[in-house]
Amino acid sequence: MVANVCIDPLFYDVYSRIAEIHLSDIGLKLQWIDVDVRPQSYDERWAKSKEYFTVPIYRLPLAYLSTLLS
pLDDT above 60: residue 10: yes
Residues contacting residue 31 through CB under 8 Å, at least 6 positions apart: 61, 62, 64
d(CA 30, CA 65): 9
Quick one: which of 51, 45, 57 has its CA closest to 16?
Answer: 57
Whole-model pTM above 0.75?
no
- pLDDT reported for residue 62: 92
pLDDT digits (tens, 9 = 90+) for 14-62: 889 999 999 999 999 989 999 887 766 655 555 565 555 677 888 899 9
d(CA 20, CA 44): 31
Q: Which residue has the higher pLDDT, 17 or 10?
A: 17
